[in-house]
C-alpha cells in the first residue's frame, strides 16, 4: 500500500525563496520533484515486497480472482473449490477469521466420526439452552445412538445433539473443545479457534472460508458423512427433522453440506453439488439474509461448474 507524502510546507518554502533568488528556487524545485519521484518509487517497491512476503507466508487456500462470468456475491467471504481435487477456483477474503456459526459442527462431526462406534448409545446430559437455538427436542436422560445424534446435528443443525455428542465422546464439552482445537492445529487450520461444539457466538471462536472448505473437503471423502449431509430430512425418536440446507431440493446435483446462522456470523453455508461426475464445493460466510446466502451459493456453484 503506497503512502502519499504531503509537500505543503516544502512548497510554501519554495514560494518564499523564489521571491528572493528565482534561479536557485527553480533548481530546488526541480531537485525536490526528483526526490519526490524517487520516494514514490521506493514506496512502490516496498509495497510490492510486502505483497510478495505475504504471498510467501501464504494462505492455506490462495486468493484467486475469478476468471469467468461471476456476478457480484452478497457475502463477506467465500471460496469456490473443485470438489475432487480441492483446487481453489475463486475466493474473497478466504483466510479472514470470522464467526462461522453452525459450520463449527463440521469439526464436531470430524471428531465423532474419528471416535467411531456410531451404534453406541449416548445419554443426553443436562443442557443449558440459551435463546433461539436449533434443537432436536432432546431431554436430559434420553438415550440416543451416536449415529442418530450425528444425523440430527448435521441435517437439522441441532445444538442439543452437538452437545450430547461432545460429552459422550470426551466426557465433557470442555475436553471436547480441546480436542477440536488440537485437531484444527494438526490439520493446519490456522484461522480456526473453537470455544464450543455447536457454533454459538463467542468472541474467541472463529474460522475462515478457506479453513471450512478444507475441513468440508476432507469430510466429503467419508461415505458415512456424504450420506448424512445429502439427506433432505432425518428422523429422531419418531419425529421428522427437515434439513436446514434448502439447496438439496432446489439446486440440480446438490449433495450437501451444512448451513449456519447467528447474529454475529450472518448467514453461512458450505454447499456441494455433483454433475456429470464432477464436483464443486463452495463456502459462503456473512451473507445478510438467508436468501442472499442461497443465491450466493447457487451463483458460486454455477461459476465453479463453468470453469472446472
Active site residues: 102, 105, 157
In the block, cell 470455544 appears at 195
- Is the separation of the CB atoms in 199 and 285 below 8 Å? no
Question: What gap in Å lies between CA 136 and CA 144, rounded to an integer?
Answer: 11
Length of the chain: 308
**Residue 169 to residue 62: CA distance in whole angstroms:** 35
218 CB burial (10 A radius; 0-12, 13-18, 19+): middle
How many helices and strands in the chain, by DSSP H and E? 10, 9
Task: Report the chain's C-alpha Rg in angstroms.
Answer: 26
Cα–Cα distance list, 97 to 59, 92, 190, 207, 236 (Å): 12, 12, 9, 5, 34
Name the grid cell of 84: 475432487
- Cα separation, 85 vs 143, in Å, equals 40
DSSP letters for 101-165: GGGGHHHHHHHHHHH--TTPEEE-------SS-------TT-EEEHHHHHHHHHHS--HHHHHHH
Amino acid at each position: 500500500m503506497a503512502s502519499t507524502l504531503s509537500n505543503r510546507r516544502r512548497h510554501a518554502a519554495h514560494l518564499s525563496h523564489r521571491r528572493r533568488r528565482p534561479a536557485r528556487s527553480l533548481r530546488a524545485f526541480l531537485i525536490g520533484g526528483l526526490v519526490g519521484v524517487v520516494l514514490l518509487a521506493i514506496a512502490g517497491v516496498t509495497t510490492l515486497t510486502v505483497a510478495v512476503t505475504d504471498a510467501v507466508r501464504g494462505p492455506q487456500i490462495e486468493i484467486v480472482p475469478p476468471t469467468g462470468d461471476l456476478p457480484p456475491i452478497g457475502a463477506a467471504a467465500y471460496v469456490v473449490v473443485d470438489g475432487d481435487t480441492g483446487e481453489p477456483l475463486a475466493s474473497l477474503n478466504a483466510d479472514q477469521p470470522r464467526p462461522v456459526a453452525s459450520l463449527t459442527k463440521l469439526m464436531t462431526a470430524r471428531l465423532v466420526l474419528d471416535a467411531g462406534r456410531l451404534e453406541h448409545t449416548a445419554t443426553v446430559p443436562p443442557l443449558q439452552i440459551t435463546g433461539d437455538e436449533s434443537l432436536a427436542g432432546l431431554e436430559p436422560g434420553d438415550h440416543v445412538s451416536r449415529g442418530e445424534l450425528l444425523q440430527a446435528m448435521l441435517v437439522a443443525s441441532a445444538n442439543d445433539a452437538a452437545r450430547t455428542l461432545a460429552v459422550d465422546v470426551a466426557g465433557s464439552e470442555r475436553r471436547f473443545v480441546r480436542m477440536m482445537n488440537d485437531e484444527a492445529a494438526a490439520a493446519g487450520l490456522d484461522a480456526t479457534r473453537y470455544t464450543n461444539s455447536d457454533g454459538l457466538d463467542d468472541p474467541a471462536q472463529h474460522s475462515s472460508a478457506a479453513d471450512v472448505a478444507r475441513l468440508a473437503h476432507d469430510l466429503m471423502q467419508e461415505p458415512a458423512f456424504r450420506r448424512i449431509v445429502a439427506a433432505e430430512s432425518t428422523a429422531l425418536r419418531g419425529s421428522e427433522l427437515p434439513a436446514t440446507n434448502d439447496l438439496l431440493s432446489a439446486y440440480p446435483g446438490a449433495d450437501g453440506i451444512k448451513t449456519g446462522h447467528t447474529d454475529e456470523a450472518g448467514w453461512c453455508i458450505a454447499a456441494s453439488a455433483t454433475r456429470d461426475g464432477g464436483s464443486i464445493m463452495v463456502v459462503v460466510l456473512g451473507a445478510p439474509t438467508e436468501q442472499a446466502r442461497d443465491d450466493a451459493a447457487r451463483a458460486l456453484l454455477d461459476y465453479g461448474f463453468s470453469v472446472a
